[in-house]
Amino acid sequence: MDEKDWKYHGEGNKSLVLSHVQLSRVLRLLKYPAEDSENPPQTVEQAFRQIQNIVDFSSNVMSSLLGEKFIHSGEVVKLPLEFVRQLSIRVQHQRPAWRCDKVMDIYSGCALCLPNLTSPVLHQPTHTPPLCIEIKPKCGFLPSSKHVSKDIKTKVCRFCMHQHYKVASGKWRRRSLYCPLDLFSGNRQRMHFAIRHLIEEPQNNFKIFKGGQCIYSSKEGSDDSLDPNSLLHHLRPYFLYGNNRINTTSKAVLNDFIQVLVNALLSGGGGGDGGMVTERQGEGRSFCEASHFNKERIRHGSQGLPSDSVLFRILQTQMLDTQDIEGLYPLYHRVEQHLQDFPKESIRTRLQIDGPYDEAFLEKLQKCPTEDDGSVEFAVAKVHQYRVAMTAKDCSIMVALVPSSEKEEDDEGQRQLRDFLSSRPPAFSYSVSILDLDPKPFDSIPRQLRLDQKIVSCYLRTGGALPKGSLPSLPGIFTAAEREDCTLLFHPV
């Protein structure tokens, strides 16, 4: 409990994260609007319940849907208030200015303690620190609900449309060419293409950590272009093959890095022998018209994901949103009307509007009938399904890569030697985890509908063209790498 042992790690809209300088642990604390800094908006008990709800939702609901092997739910801890106040003072100057409209909760002493996935402890420590890649994949399918009122939503994915809205509203100066449908396709070419564009324009969707330190990310609202040479400097030591230093051009390093990442995303994340699930959603829902990937480039390989892969589990959970926000809003209104007609707290509790997130909650959304019988029970189950799908659409994947030691013996050592000689990417131990699994508030649904309408109308108004004054996409790290001369090096043997 020494504040000097903790440092600023990052923050989102609702919480701030601190990491321990030696232990692989992080503390996640709630945030309040700055105007509430003198008078906390909730009691200690309410703060504790809010964090406990996050733990319960993760461990009882999302863990069952996404797979226990990917989930770290953490635990609620009570901290001395003076320690929390000192932490708040210590990290304030490290926070981004645009996040300082909110302040850290220094009144409740409640926090969520989690493993620090950016500096994993997988195996014996090697000389090279572990890499950790954070990907926020977003929604991986096109809606097919009969309630969708604008045809464009069935052709262009939400992320690609949202990019136009973000640039038009000034949140970002240039758009990302990443398309989630390419990443979720399971086709290696499309996945490689998607990750390449995440690297070129990371926005909030891609970060790289080395030994727990963030070495590559975008800053919101900033015009600063990313430094490709810095990234290559960090990555190169991980992709040198044996003593021969075969094939270390920039292009080769980046391609090998992406190949290792694709392998991790398509793996089962440890255990399981899941089969390949191809085209579970039909050809039409797996291609986005705004993607820059040329369909004709697909020469070989399957369309589909292994059923035990992290992307498959996330996509299946996202697809609990069967109504689209347009079909869901009337059902939300039915529940709201019922709560107004019967304002007793017991009704809200029975419908589990604010939790508890237990087995009964999971059962409600899993056993929801397909046909609407006009009941409030059907409506609330659909709203719960949508909230869970929204969490899956907003989660982060953490892929930790630890270089396997070159001194491993016996068959493993022989296999690695063969890998070096045949110029395959080096061997890594890896772990795949899913983060950011908070329950979405019940009352956020009207806001979701308004945002959906703004995004679609902006895209239709501009015809998919970017507004004047927006910056063009960068030529990018890959273009520079591809221009690099190929040099043949001879080493004495």
pLDDT at 367 over 70: yes
Burial 458-474 (b: 16+ CB within 10 A, else e): bbeeeeeebeeebeeee
Q: Where does 287-375 have alpha helices with state H?
A: 310-318, 324-341, 345-350, 359-366
pLDDT at 475 over 90: no
pTM for the model stands at 0.88
pLDDT digits (tens, 9 = 90+) for 103-152: 999 999 999 999 999 887 655 555 678 999 999 999 999 999 999 999 99
In which band, very low, low, confident or very high, does the pLDDT at 1 lie, cut at 50, 70 and 90? confident
pLDDT at 62 over 90: yes
pLDDT of residue 472: 60
- 3-state percent breakdown (helix, strand, coil) of the chain, nearest 5: 45, 15, 40
pLDDT at 163 over 90: yes
Topology of the domain comprising 3-115:
Phosphorylase Kinase; domain 1 (3.30.200)
The residue extents of the domains of the chain are 3-115, 131-319+391-483
Compute the mean pLDDT over every residue in the chain, rounded to the nearest whole number: 85
Place of tokens 């727990």: 212
Lowest mean pLDDT among 276-285, 425-434, 474-483: 276-285
pLDDT digits (tens, 9 = 90+) for 424-448: 556 788 899 999 999 999 999 999 9
Q: Which residue has the higher pLDDT, 228 or 18?
A: 18
Region 220-228: what's the mean pLDDT?
65
pLDDT of residue 415: 46
Lowest mean pLDDT among 34-48, 298-312, 333-347, 472-486: 472-486
pLDDT at 319 over 50: yes
CA gap 353, 43 in Å, rounded? 20
Q: Which residue has the higher pLDDT, 142 or 483?
A: 142
